Amino acid sequence: MKKWHYLILASTVLVFAGCSNPPVKKQELKSTPRTPPPIFKSTAAARMPTGATTETATSSADKKEATDIPTKRIIYFDYNLSDIRQEDIRILEEHAAYLSKNPSIPMSLEGHADERGSREYNLALGEQRATTAKDFIMNLGIPDSQLTTMSYGEERPIKFGHDESSWWENRRVELIYP
């Protein structure tokens, strides 16, 4: 019986010895300089062509037009509604006046919702809010070709809280210029 133990032990040692790998030479790694990805401080810089700077991408006339853009660019909505609030009518009227003076400048209306509700429902609600704001501006004489809508639903919150003040800031339409 002892012979069997020795035979099993010897065959196990041979099997493991046969499975060992030959030593591998370590290769020297060559370091190459890395360039970090670009970080943009504003959305306007992110939309510029590669290699363009703010000085080359805008002329003095464009800078004058950019200063005329109304400063308030967000309108807010009540829970589960897409009706324009009385307080926000003036904001939309100011943007319509700016767009009528500058017919070559487009505007995008981005609709958002708070986190309550399903993803599909919030996307539809964000689209409905953006469309309501677009229709209001179009009724003030701005052509459809100058306006686009986009819905992000609950995907891009401004505040990440789970309370009414956070939800309030996330129920919005942002008025975006290129």
- The pLDDT value given to residue 60: 46
Q: Closest Cα partner for 95 from 124, 55, 136? A: 136
Residue 8's identity, in one-letter code, is I
* Neighbouring C-alpha atoms within 13 Å toward the C-beta of 105: 20
List of domains in the chain: 67-176 (3.30.1330.60)
Beta bridge partners of 174: 74, 110
Give the mean pLDDT of the chain: 79
Residue 107's identity, in one-letter code, is M
Residue 68's identity, in one-letter code, is D
pLDDT single digits (tens) 125-152:
999 999 999 999 999 999 999 999 999 9
pLDDT single digits (tens) 36-52:
444 434 444 444 444 43
d(CA 150, CA 128) in angstroms, rounded, equals 10
More confident residue, 32 or 162: 162
Residue 67's identity, in one-letter code, is T
